[in-house]
Amino acid sequence: MLSVLRNRTYRHLFTAQVIALVGTGLATVALGLLAYDIAGADAGSVLGTALGIKMVAYVLIAPVVGAIADRLPPRALLVGADLIRAAVALTLPFVDQVWQVYVLVFALQSASAAFTPTFQSLIPAVLPAERDYTHALSLSRLAYDLESLFSPALAAALLTLISYNWLFTGTMLGFLASAALVVSAVLPKPLAAPRTGTVYAKATAGTRLFFATPRLRALLALNLAVAAASATVTVNTVVYVREHLGRSIADVPLALGAYGAGSMVVALLLPRVLDKVSDRAVMLRGALLLTVVYAGLGALTAAHTGGWRWPALLAAWAAFGGACSMVLTPTGRLVRRSAPPEERTSAFAAQFSLSHSCWLLTYPLAGWLGAAAGLQSAVIALGALAFAAALLAVKLWPSHDPDHLTHLHTTLDAEHPHLADAARVPGGWRHSHSYVVDDLHSTWPALPERAPAR
């Protein structure tokens, strides 16, 4: 897996991603302490609102980035996003009003919504080989999981030596280092001239690609299943550990660590698995596994005594992490396979925006339902949502999903270059190639039934 780091451009981009992730983790810890200084007992409300603003920024800004991505060099987008994030981190220690926190959080997360899809869209061009790209996806998944474990520990260690305001300085330095690494990398050149059309049409191009492509429609449902599970873990871990199991606050990071460990183990194993098993098989099984874990979590939630409950919770959280990784790790392969190279930034921006729309739904549902009706009700509701989403994904994703599809063109002129290898048939021109929805292919062709095995 580490062999892909021999590629200088990818090595610089991946290092930039890791440093930026650590900086963001430090900022998250410092932001919580800043909210407490400003709002006191209302700090939880402030942080909850800030997280909501984060999701809204992701949902709204990522499609706009997709619309302008063809007008700006990728380097300018990445470096500009890092510089904005560094400026916000430098400003945060000086705020003394809640509304200022909200404005700066929106600016910070808007820059992240520009950085992440642009970064993701570059990697397939930097690592065109399928095996290398799969290794890169696994490394990216590991980076996210390790950051969730490492950043809080690093912040805790630093806070024994410095005040939390200095954590924002560390965040700023991380973003500046990320920008420097991007500047030092040799990035691929844009593949096409800027697209024509209105800003709205360009901003929604990625979303329309998702709804026009069967496997990407299934990915929307898979995103919802993962969002249900991750919301259960993120929002209710502290409730399970402290209230339901009556354990100490020190056990909260252990439970969250079990989720990260499950995700990392699967991310390490997936490159070899995906050499032999299709993305569809891995991702759908991961989504269906979530429903099995929810069933076990329901039994755990119903039990109010027994020493077995703590190891059972750790096992459930590790299984949640592994199942989510089965869905999330191959996602980039799916998007790359389904979008023409010149539309990748728009497609990754749509995935970023649409997946966070799911979290914008499930995070409040997990919190409000758990608080109002109890953990069991939250487990039943989110488990049912994950189960319905998994079944929908199975239905939407054809079992026979080849890259090359035979299809008919009825409106192109016979001299059109795209028809160079096409055969004349009644009603138009027929040929086969790796199929994606684009200007020449506006709809998905009907798939022939797969011949039964003999």
Instruction: For 219-243, write each residue's pLDDT tens digit.
Output: 999 999 999 999 898 888 888 888 8
User: Comparing 253 with 357, which gets the higher pLDDT?
Assistant: 357
- For 118, the token pair is 């642009």
Burial 75-88, CB ≥16 within 10 A → b, else e: bebbbbbbebbbbb
Is residue 56 within 8 Å of residue 108, measured between CB atoms?
A: no
CA dihedral in degrees (80, 81, 83, 88; nearest 10)? Answer: 140
- For 145, the token pair is 């999981």
Predicted structure pTM score = 0.83
Which of 10-19, 153-162, 185-194, 246-255 tops mean pLDDT? 10-19
Instruction: For 140-162, write each residue's pLDDT tens digit.
Output: 888 877 776 666 666 667 777 77
**Could you state, in order of their start, the residue ranges of all structural domains in the chain?**
1-129+148-188, 204-401, 404-434
DSSP 281-338: HHHHHHHHHHHHHHHHHHHHHH----TTHHHHHHHHHHHHHHHHHHHHTTHHHHHHHH
| pLDDT value at residue 394 | 96
**Gap between the Cα atoms of 385 and 387, Å rounded:** 5
Backbone phi and psi for residue 448, each to the nearest 5 degrees, phi listed first: -70, 150
| pLDDT value at residue 176 | 94
pLDDT-based confidence at residue 447 (cuts at 50, 70, 90): low
| pLDDT value at residue 451 | 38
**Gap between the Cα atoms of 220 and 396, Å rounded:** 10
Burial 229-262, CB ≥16 within 10 A → b, else e: bbbbbbbbbebbbeebbebeeebbbbbbbbbbbb
| pLDDT value at residue 280 | 94
Averaged confidence pLDDT in the chain: 84
Give the three-state DSSP class for 441. Answer: strand
Is residue 347 within 8 Å of residue 121, measured between CB atoms?
A: yes
Is the pLDDT reported for residue 371 higher than 60? yes
Tokens 């160079």 locate to 420
Is the pLDDT reported for residue 42 higher than 70? no
Is residue 111 within 8 Å of residue 79, measured between CB atoms?
A: no
**What is the rounded average pLDDT of the residues 182-206?**
71
Sign of CA dihedral 441, 447, 453, 454: negative
Instruction: For 46-93, write each residue's pLDDT tens digit.
Output: 766 777 788 888 888 888 877 776 677 888 889 999 999 999 989 988
Is residue 152 within 8 Å of residue 254, measured between CB atoms?
A: no
**What is the rounded average pLDDT of the residues 177-187?**
90
Which residue spans within 215-302 are E strands per DSSP?
none
**Gap between the Cα atoms of 17 and 141, Å rounded:** 11
| pLDDT value at residue 193 | 47
- Window from 72-81, 89-98, 196-205 with minimum mean pLDDT: 196-205
Which of 33-37, 329-333, 411-415 tops mean pLDDT? 329-333
| pLDDT value at residue 80 | 92
| pLDDT value at residue 433 | 85
Instruction: For 272-309, write each residue's pLDDT tens digit.
Output: 999 899 999 999 999 999 999 999 999 999 998 888 99
**Gap between the Cα atoms of 442 and 436, Å rounded:** 9
Cβ neighbours around 172 below 10 Å, total: 22
Is residue 49 within 8 Å of residue 57, measured between CB atoms?
A: no
**Gap between the Cα atoms of 173 and 186, Å rounded:** 22
| pLDDT value at residue 177 | 93
**What is the rounded average pLDDT of the residues 384-401?**
94
User: Comparing 205 with 359, which gets the higher pLDDT?
Assistant: 359
**Gap between the Cα atoms of 186 and 73, Å rounded:** 12
**Gap between the Cα atoms of 47 and 30, Å rounded:** 11
**Gap between the Cα atoms of 310 and 251, Å rounded:** 10
pLDDT-based confidence at residue 163 (cuts at 50, 70, 90): confident
Tokens 């080849």 locate to 402
| pLDDT value at residue 152 | 61
- For 368, the token pair is 């409000």
**Gap between the Cα atoms of 292 and 188, Å rounded:** 43
Which of 1-10, 82-91, 366-375 tops mean pLDDT? 82-91
**Which of the four CATH numbers 2.70.70.10, 3.30.70.260, 1.10.3720.10, 1.20.1250.20 does domain 204-401 have?**
1.20.1250.20
User: Comparing 326 with 248, which gets the higher pLDDT?
Assistant: 326
Sign of CA dihedral 26, 27, 32, 33: positive
Task: Give the containing element (helix H, strand E) for 431.
Answer: strand 428-434
**What is the rounded average pLDDT of the residues 382-405?**
92
| pLDDT value at residue 199 | 64
**What is the rounded average pLDDT of the residues 257-263?**
88
Sign of CA dihedral 86, 88, 89, 93: positive
Is the pLDDT reported for residue 252 higher than 60? yes
- Window from 74-88, 211-225, 317-331, 404-418 with minimum mean pLDDT: 404-418
Cα Rg of the chain (Å, integer): 23
**Gap between the Cα atoms of 18 and 9, Å rounded:** 14
Is the pLDDT reported for residue 448 higher than 80? no
Say which DSSP state 438 is in: B
What angle, 0 to 180 degrees and rounded to 10, lies between the N-to-C axes of helices 279-302 and 331-338?
140
What angle, 0 to 180 degrees and rounded to 10, lies between the N-to-C axes of helices 205-212 and 344-373?
80
In CATH, what number does 1-129+148-188 get?
1.20.1250
